[in-house]
Amino acid sequence: MKPLLAVLACLLTAACAKEQPAPSDTARTQASPAPAVANASVRADSLKTLMFLGTSLTAGLGLEPEDAYPMLIQAKIDSARLPYRVVNAGVSGATSSGLLRSLDWLLQQRLDVVVVETGANDGLRGVPVETMRSNLQQIITRIRESQPGATIALVQMEALPNMGKPYTERFHATFPELVRQNRGVVLIPFLLDGVAGERELNQGDGVHPNERGERIVAENVWRALKPLLR
């Protein structure tokens, strides 16, 4: 990986520093309200549900709701005539602990595919990797128990280098290790690959993708997600 994380180190205070309340209190979960034209032949009540769980990077902080990568994925789904509706359950500032606390509320509906993007804010706060790992394992376990038929995709995230090499290496290794240890869980490569550290692809805070960057993020996710939806 290029030294993209070093570029962001000076911007920690701008990056989702404050964790927001659980979705049951304040967050809007954004969903495609109806099948797009490409899916017009599919009854709305027959669509499967793809939920994105995550942080401000999933919520699309600083962007219009339709420009967040989960909604760009919805457009790709419709173009491919796949029978899925997307629910964006990203929450700005959420840590893995916050996601774990809100999970029961989020799992009340039937889900067919769940994408889990969390850990970036854990790294920003220096949360012990073992704590994050435990939270991620509990998240995977709860999804499995609540939605036994759902496919789970875990998004690779990275920690900034100011935490030190041992921390960043343990942080990086956590995601593929969890995928290996949990049968049926799929790893999505680093969310911000090709975007992090690129000034022209990020908003003024240097952390959150702008519209151009978000399209690249959507492509990163789509390449790994498309085979699962088929």
One-letter amino acid at 54 equals G
Residue 16's contacts (CB-CB under 8 Å, 6 or more residues apart) are 55, 56, 61, 92, 93, 94, 120, 121, 124, 207
Residues of the chain with pLDDT under 50: 1-17, 21-28, 32-40
> How many Cβ atoms from other residues are within 10 Å of residue 6's Cβ?
12
Radius of gyration for the alpha carbons in the chain, expressed in angstroms and rounded:
17
pLDDT at res. 210: 98
pLDDT at res. 23: 47
205 is catalytic: yes
Q: Give the integer Cα–Cα distance in Å for 68 and 125.
A: 24
Helices 96-106 & 129-146 angle (0-180, nearest 10): 10
208 is catalytic: yes
193 is catalytic: no
Out of 67, 146, 193, 205, the active site residue is: 205
Percentage, residues of the chain above pLDDT 90: 79
pLDDT at res. 44: 66
Out of 56, 92, 96, 97, the active site residue is: 56
pLDDT at res. 46: 84
Out of 92, 112, 172, 208, the active site residue is: 208
pLDDT at res. 184: 93
One-letter amino acid at 136 equals L
pLDDT at res. 42: 56
> Domains along the chain?
47-229 (3.40.50.1110)
pLDDT tens for each residue of 162-213: 999 999 999 999 999 999 999 999 999 999 999 999 999 999 999 999 999 9
> What pTM was computed for the model?
0.85
pLDDT at res. 230: 84
Asked if 184 and 150 count as a contact pair (C-beta separation under 8 A), the reply is no
Q: Give the integer Cα–Cα distance in Å for 74 and 31.
A: 9
Residue 86's contacts (CB-CB under 8 Å, 6 or more residues apart) are 31, 32, 50, 51, 52, 70, 71, 73, 74, 77
